[in-house]
Amino acid sequence: MNRPQGSPGHRYGSQGTPSRTAAALVSLQTIVYKETHRYLRIWIQTLVPPAITMTLYFVIFGALIGERVGEMEGYRYMEYIAPGIIMLAVITNSYNNVVSSFFGAKFQRHIEEMLVSPTPNVVILLGYVAGGVGRGLFTGAIVTAVALMFTSLPIHNWAITISVVILTAVLFSIGGFINAIYARKFDDIAIIPTFVLTPLTYLGGVFYSISLLPEFWQGVSLANPILYMVNAFRYGILGSADVHIAVSYAMMLAFIAAFGGFALYLLNRGTGLRS
């Protein structure tokens, strides 16, 4: 007799056990819930500091220095730097959320419970990345609200604006995951953000247009992946960018594919996870 389409047999095996897909979805939902609850539970430490820091950026760079700069690429300086400051918050918070959470799981050794469970490694990766993306978007929304207190943000293209911020949060969440895999002590999770991420962010066109740079340094700037994200986001809001939007999307997708594949490879090998 044919089984009705809505019967439990489509979700459960012949012995009444959950199917692999259903079990994987439950695992993913559980990890995402844990990660979301973690940063919301300590919101004073995770969400308030970025809002205060970015407010200082707007006051110092936008209100004080911006009055002397005047315009940048035909836009008021405050309006020009607002997309970059929002993106700065998304990058740092999505990265920090995953690197601290996954390293904490390693340090406290409860990551071993997930590794010995039937949960696929790709689900573990997706769960942590989703948590990082959630915090990145949450922080980005808060900083956007702060930005609107200082300047207007005429959205040029909603689809580009939303997709770019999501892709950026995904990329840096994966980056935080890779950092956490290699980290052996708490000091190791601060090395990449301090010596790599921060310089790349500040040199990524957040506060200036690369058209102001000499030709040689413009070429050097094009090697900075953050430049493409900041400019794509700025294009989505203002409709102007130093880099073609198609090139920016290609770079983001390429980095996500490369970093995602590498993170899954490390997870499958057990790099940094097995004593």
For the chain, the average pLDDT equals 87
pLDDT band at 178 (very low <50, low <70, confident <90, very high): very high
Closest CA to 101 of 30, 171, 200, 31: 31
Amino acid at 219: G
The per-residue pLDDT for 274 is: 67
Q: Are 115 and 109 in contact (CB under 8 A)?
A: no
- How far, in Å, are 32, 115, 176, 192 from residue 188 at the CA level? 25, 22, 12, 8
Q: Which residues contact 97 (CB under 8 A, 6 or more apart)?
A: 35, 39, 46, 131, 132, 135, 136, 173, 176
* Mean pLDDT, rounded, for 102-119: 84
Kindly state the tokens that stand for 64: 């004080």
d(CA 173, CA 175): 5
Residue linked to tokens 């970025």: 50
> What would the pLDDT profile of 115-161 be if each residue is shown by its tens digit?
888 889 999 999 999 999 999 999 999 999 999 998 888 899 999 99
pTM, to two decimals: 0.87
Whether the predicted pLDDT of 108 surpasses 50: yes
Closest CA to 31 of 94, 120, 162: 120
Whether the predicted pLDDT of 207 surpasses 70: yes
Q: Where are the domains of the chain?
A: 18-269
Q: Are 240 and 73 in contact (CB under 8 A)?
A: yes
Whether the predicted pLDDT of 13 surpasses 70: no
